[in-house]
Amino acid sequence: MANITYIESNGQSTTINLNDGWSLMQGATANGIDGIVGECGGSCACATCHCYVDEARLGDLPAPSAGELDMLENVASERKPNSRLACQIKATAALEGLIIRLPETQE
Amino acid sequence: MLSFDPYSPAIDADPFPYYKQLRDEAPCFWSPEAQMWILSRYSDIVSAGQDWQTYSSASGNLMTELPGRAGATLGSSDPPKHDRLRGLIQHAFMKRNLLALEEPIRAVAQEVFGQLRGAKQFDFKDVSSQFTVKVLMAALGLPMGDEALVPEHEVRENAVLMVQSDARTRAKGPEHIAAYNWMQDYASKVIAIRRAEPRNDLISNFALAEIDGDRLDDREVLLTTTTLIMAGVESLGGFMMMFAYNLASFDEARRAVVANPELLPDAIEESLRFNTSAQRFRRRLMKDVELHGQTMKQGDFVCLAYGSGNRDERQYPNPDVYDITRKPRGHLGFGGGVHACLGTAIARLAVKIAFDEFHKVVPDYKRVADQLPWMPSSTFRSPLVLQLAVQ
C-alpha cells in the first residue's frame, strides 16, 4: 500500500491509500478524482492520464517505457520534464507519500 | 449450494444474481464446470488486470479459447510481445486519428437507420449488424463495395458464431470452429491482397510491418487480423444490442437521450458499466496466489468477471440501477490494464453517432418480448434478436 496525493489544477488535494500494483490512473478513476480521465482504460493509448510527478521523487519511479515516451507526445497540456502517464506508474511501498499534480486539461 | 457455470443458459440470460452471491459469499470461487477460479469483486479484478506478470494472457483470454489462437494475438499475449503487436496497431485507433472516420460513419448510420422510416416493428439486430460491419470494414480497410470478397452479412454471422460455445459440451462445437476457420480464410485473403498491392490502411501496414528488421510471423498477422475483425464486429454489434435493450427497457433514460443527444455519451458509459457485452475474460496464473482464504495454484485458469465488478456495491452505490447521470468512472466495461480494449475510442464514437441517427428516425420505441433469446457464450452476453415496436 502507498499513500498517493493528487493535486488537481484548481488546487484541490486528495490523498488515496492505493493497493500495491494499482496504477495511479486506476486509483484516481476509482476514487472520483476528475483531473485524470484514463479514457483508454490503462493500455497507454490515449494520453489522458497525464500528471506531473514531484521532481524530488522522480528517481523513485521506474523510467518511462518507449511506449509511454511516445504517448507523452500526445498530451493536451504542456509537457514538462516531470510529465508522466499515471496509467504507467504502479503503486509500491517505494512511492509512499508521492505527490502528483494534474494538468488543467487532459483532452 | 453455490455454483457458477458460465456455460449455463441461465447465466447467459441473467448472470447478475449469481455474481452478487459470488461477491458476497465466495469472492474467489472455484467453478468445477468452468474448471477455473472466478474473481467477482471490482477491487480484485482491477488488481489482477494490472498484474500481467502473475495473471498471464499467453494461454488465451477467451473463456473458451479458439484452437491455435493463444499467444498469437494482442489479447492472448503478454508484454513485451503484446506491446510490440499493439504498438503497430494502436495508432490507428487513437481518438485524434479517428476524426477522419466521423463523417463516413455518420453517412453509414444515415443510410442504415434510414431504412427504418415507416417501419412499425423491426429486429434491431438487422440494422446494428449492417452498421457494425460497414464501420469496421471502413476502419480496418477491408475490401468493400465492388471489391468485396464476401457478402457483409457473412462476416457478421461468422463473427457472432465464432465467439459462441456449446452449453452441453462446455466447449466449441463444430459450427463455432467452422466459423473461426471461415474468418481465418477471409482474413488470409485480405492480407494477400493488401500485401500484393498495399494501401494506406491498417491491414496493409500491419501485414508489411517490420519490428527491428523482423517481419511479424504469418500466424501473428493472420490471427491478429482475424481477431480484429471478430472483436470489432461482434463486440461493437453486441454492445449496440445491449444499449438498445437498455434504452428500450428504461423509458426515462430513452426519453432523456432522445430529447438531448448530448447525454448519449453518459448513457453509453452507464451501459458499459451496467451490462456490457464483454462479461468475462480469463487469465492463467504464473505463480501460486492466496486470495480470500483460497490458494490458487500456478497454472490454474482464472476468470475476471468484469460484468460482476461493474455491479459491485463496494465500488458503485445502487449498482443494479441504470442511471445515466451516474458517470461511472473506472468501470470495467472495456476491461483494464495493458489489455484494456483497443477499440474504446472508435466504439464510443460509432455508438454515439449510430444512436443519434437512429433516434432521428425512430424517436420512441419499446421491446416487443419480455423473454429474449440470449447468445450462448461463456465470454460475451447479448440477445440474438431484439424486436422493437415503434411508438
pLDDT of residue B118: 97
Q: Helix crossing, B152-162 with B174-196: angle to 10°?
A: 130
Residues B229 and B136 sit within 8 Å (Cβ to Cβ)? yes
Which distant-in-sequence residues (6+ apart) come within 8 Å of B368 by Cβ? B121, B387, B388, B389
DSSP string, B287-306: S-EEETTEEEPTT-EEEE-H
> For residues B234 and B355, what is the distance between their CA atoms, to the nearest angstrom?
18
- Whether B338 and A23 lie within 8 Å, measured CB to CB: no
Q: Which three cell numbers stand for residue B207?
A: 501485414
C-alpha cell, A40: 483508454
Rounded CA separation B158/B230 (Å):
8
**Contact, A85 vs A69, CB < 8 A?**
no
Phi, psi dihedrals of residue B37, rounded to the nearest 5°? -80, 150
Against a cut of 0.90, is the pTM above it?
yes
Cross-chain Cβ contact A42/B338 below 8 Å: yes
Nearest beta carbon to residue B47 from set A22, A40, A44: A22
Instruction: Give contacts of B330 with chain A, Cβ < 8 Å.
Output: 26, 29-30, 38
Place of cell 486528495: A14
Shortest distance between the Cα of A1 and any Cα of chain B, in A, equals 12
- Residue B211's pLDDT is 65
For position A44, what pLDDT does the model report? Answer: 93
Q: What are the DSSP E strand ranges found in chain B?
A: 28-31, 36-39, 55-56, 121-123, 210-211, 214-215, 281-285, 289-291, 294-296, 301-304, 365-367, 387-390
- The shortest CB-CB distance from A67 to any of B83, B334, B339 is to B83
Strands A50-53 and A98-101: antiparallel
Bridge partners, A99 (sequence order)? A5
Cβ distance of A41 and B337 shorter than 8 Å? yes
Per-residue pLDDT of chain B (391 residues; tens, 9 = 90+): 799 999 999 999 999 999 999 999 999 999 999 999 999 999 999 999 999 999 999 999 999 999 999 999 999 999 988 988 888 888 888 888 898 899 999 999 999 999 999 999 999 999 999 999 999 999 998 999 899 999 999 999 999 999 999 999 999 999 999 999 999 999 999 999 999 999 988 899 888 887 666 678 889 899 999 999 998 899 999 999 999 999 999 999 999 999 999 999 999 999 999 999 999 999 999 999 999 999 999 999 999 999 999 999 999 999 999 999 999 999 999 999 999 999 999 999 999 999 999 999 999 999 999 999 999 999 999 999 999 999 9
* Measured distance CA(B347)–CA(B139) in Å, rounded: 11
The backbone torsions φ and ψ at residue B127, rounded to the nearest 5 degrees and listed phi first, read: -85, -40
Q: Is B329 within 8 Å of A30 when comparing Cβ atoms?
A: yes
Residue-level pLDDT at B171: 96
The reply to whether A23 touches chain B by the CB within 8 Å rule is: yes
Helix (H, G, I), strand (E, B) or coil at B21: helix
Kindly report the three-state secondary structure assignment for every residue of chain A: CEEEEEECCCCCEEEEEECCCCEHHHHHHCCCCCCCCCCCCCCCCCCCCEEEECHHHHHHCCCCCHHHHHHHCCCCCCCCCCEEEHHHCECCHHHCCEEEECCCCCC
Distance CA B379, CA B242 (A): 15
Q: Which pLDDT does position B212 carry in this prediction? A: 64
Beta-bridge partner residues of A6? A14, A100
- Give the model's pLDDT for residue A88: 96
- Does A35 lie at the interface with B, CB-CB under 8 angstroms? no
The verdict on A39 touching B (C-beta cutoff 8 Å) is yes
Q: What is the DSSP string of B239-275?
A: HHHHHHHHHHH-HHHHHHHHH-GGGHHHHHHHHHHHH
Please give the grid coordinates belonging to residue B350: 460509432
Q: How confident is the model at residue B38, as a pLDDT?
A: 98
Say what the pLDDT of residue B208 is: 84
Check CB contact under 8 Å for B337 and A43.
yes
CB contact under 8 A, B94 and A41: no
Q: Round to whole Å and give the CA distance between B285 and B223.
A: 24
